[in-house]
Each structure stands twice: as C-alpha cells, then as structure tokens.
C-alpha cells in the first residue's frame, strides 16, 4: 500500500467513526423525545382549577388512542371505569367497585401495574378487574399509575 493510500484509509475510518457517533447521538435524542420524556396528561379547565386549589382530581384518563379512551372516575357509587370507543357495543360504563370493595382492594393491595414489553401500552389490575390497558404516554413510569390508582381507591373507599 502506498503512503497516499494509507492516508485515504485513515480518512475513511475517521469519517465513518464520526458518522457513527452522529447517528448514535441523533438516535439517543429521538429515543428520549419518543419514550423517556415525561408527557403531561391533558386536563379540562375545571380540573386544572381544582388542582390549583389543592383538590385532587376525581377522575383520570388511563388509556387513550385515536379510537378508544378509558377513564377511571370516583363517584358516589365508588370507583367506576368508563370506555369511550368507536364500536358502539364496547362503549360506556364497564364496571364499578363499591366503596366497600374499593376499601378491600386498597387494604389487601390487590391492585398492580405491569408495564409489559409493548412500547405504547401496559396493563393494570384493580381487584377482580384484570389486564386493563394503560397508555405509557400518559404514565411513563408504572409507579405513577400505581400511586394514582391508590389515590382513586382511597377516595372511592371514603364514599361510604
């Protein structure tokens, strides 16, 4: 190999190393924006005002896609699960935990969050209501959702 050929090879190695570093940096930045950066949940104006006044929200959206939204609400009847879905047969009220049931679930710790392996959704369980989807965009950390579920159960248990 000539001296000139050695310089070309070194330049090619240097440029490919630089290109690999740039690609790695861009990939890391995109991954952070897509998967790791916390996403704030949208709130209706009255819920935002209630939060500013120190009152906790009485409902949370746990799953949201273009076709489906799942909301957990504390009502006088206890903790309710409502589904908004484009399919009419799956739309509406899904289940209710009475205040006594909410208290039992809370004291026994029978609620859990499983982030699973999917990039956009995981599963949560409250008592006998198992494997309900949640959006990781709304709850990037499973502990955030578990704490929110605990708060809702406490609030629902206090309804009796």
To the nearest whole percent, how much of the chain has pLDDT over 90?
50
pLDDT at site 70? 94
User: pTM of the entire structure?
Assistant: 0.63
pLDDT higher than 70, residue 33? no
Strand bridging mode 92-97 / 59-64: unpaired
pLDDT at site 43? 43
The answer to which of 28-42, 62-76, 93-107, 133-147 has the lowest mean pLDDT is: 28-42
Question: 124 with 112: CB under 8 angstroms?
Answer: yes
Question: 110 with 91: CB under 8 angstroms?
Answer: no
- The residues facing 126 across adjacent strands are 111, 129
Question: 145 with 135: CB under 8 angstroms?
Answer: no
pLDDT higher than 80, residue 90? no
Higher-confidence residue of 17 and 29: namely 17
């Amino acid at each position: 190999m000539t001296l000139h050929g050695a310089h070309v090879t070194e330049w090619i190695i240097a440029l490919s190393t630089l290109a690999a570093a740039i690609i790695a940096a861009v990939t890391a930045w995109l991954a952070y924006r897509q998967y790791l950066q916390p996403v704030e949940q949208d709130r209706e104006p009255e819920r935002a005002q209630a939060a500013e006044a120190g009152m906790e929200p009485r409902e949370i959206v746990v799953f949201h896609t273009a076709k489906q939204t799942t909301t957990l609400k504390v009502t006088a009847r206890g903790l309710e699960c409502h589904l908004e879905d484009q399919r009419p047969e799956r739309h509406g009220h899904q289940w209710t935990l009475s205040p006594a049931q909410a208290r039992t679930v809370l004291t026994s710790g029978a609620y859990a969050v499983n982030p699973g392996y999917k990039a956009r959704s995981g599963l949560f369980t409250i008592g006998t209501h198992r494997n309900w989807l949640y959006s990781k965009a709304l709850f990037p950390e499973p502990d955030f959702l578990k704490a929110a579920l605990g708060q809702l159960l406490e609030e629902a248990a206090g309804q009796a």
